[in-house]
Amino acid sequence: MEVLTVLVPYILRGLSITLEVTAVALGLGLFFGSILAILRVYGGDLLSRVLTLFVTLLRALPHILLLLIIYFIIARVVNLSAFWAGSLSLAIISSAYQSEIIRGAIQSVPGGQMMAARSIGMNRIKAIWHVIIPQAFRYAIPPWSNEAAIVIKDSSLVYVLGVPEILRQAQYYSARTYQPLTAYVTVAAIYFLLTFITNRGLDLLERHIRIPT
């Protein structure tokens, strides 16, 4: 019983921070990632090469190293809290992966769709907005669901910046009670539930908006 009354407050405090970090990282990551993807597909040759190099670099390096590098750069430029700097770093890392997902989705829309949209007099932007994006969005959901689960799990990395998310809370709890296993098993179970719910939810969404064939 004492386990519950002591552990639960720690976990709840950490959980809300974990969820916030994940939401910021995923949301901003989607925003940056979309811009990156659209520029890579429809921007000029030079721009697309530079951005591809940037994405490749981000994808090649360990996330924890990137987190520390980006955090360090951000800390130099602006005065942000560890929470915001950490979330923003994760968002930038995720944007590289999300841009790949979105780019892949855009490119799986057949080329004829763009041509057909232009042929009825839409301009490029309109064609992208009304024809390409609604289709690409559907292709993107399964891999995006995968990325969402990765970001949930990666949110544990901001632990190294001292952000009091759920893993850090587990550490506080075990330092106080000498029951590390209880703490870490609970934390693992919560992560499992979060990724499970996210994957199932997006799976349902994907089925709901699937284009009938």
Partner 1 sequence: MSFIEYMLIALPKIWVGLQITFKISSICLLIGMVIGFPVALARVYGPKWLRWLVSAYVEIFRGTPVLVQLFLIYYGLPQFGITFSAFSSAYLAIGLNSGAYQSEYFRGAIQAIASGQMMAARSIGMTRLQAIRHIIIPQAFRFAIPSWSNEAVSMVKISSIVYLIAIPEMMYVAKMLISKYYNPMPTYILVGLVYLLVIGVLTLLLNEIERRTTIPGLETARRGS
Residues near partner 1 (CB under 8 A) are 57, 60-65, 68-69, 72, 149, 153-154, 156-157, 159-160, 167, 170-171, 174, 178-185, 187-188, 191-192, 195-196
Q: Which is nearer to partner 1, 117 or 186 (CB)?
A: 186
From the CB of 113, what's the least distance to partner 1, in Å?
A: 24
Q: Which two tokens stand for residue 18?
A: 């974990």
State the DSSP string of 103-161: HHHHHHS-HHHHHHHHHTT--HHHHIIIIIHHHHHHHHHHHHHHHHHHHHHHGGGGGGG
Side-chain half-sphere CA neighbours of 69 within 13 A: 10
From the CB of 45, what's the least distance to partner 1, in Å?
A: 23
From the CB of 86, what's the least distance to partner 1, in Å?
A: 14
From the CB of 65, what's the least distance to partner 1, in Å?
A: 6
Query: If you search the block for the tokens 């763009």, which residue do you land on?
Result: 114
Rg (CA), the chain: 20
Q: Which is nearer to partner 1, 63 or 118 (CB)?
A: 63
Q: Which is nearer to partner 1, 10 or 191 (CB)?
A: 191
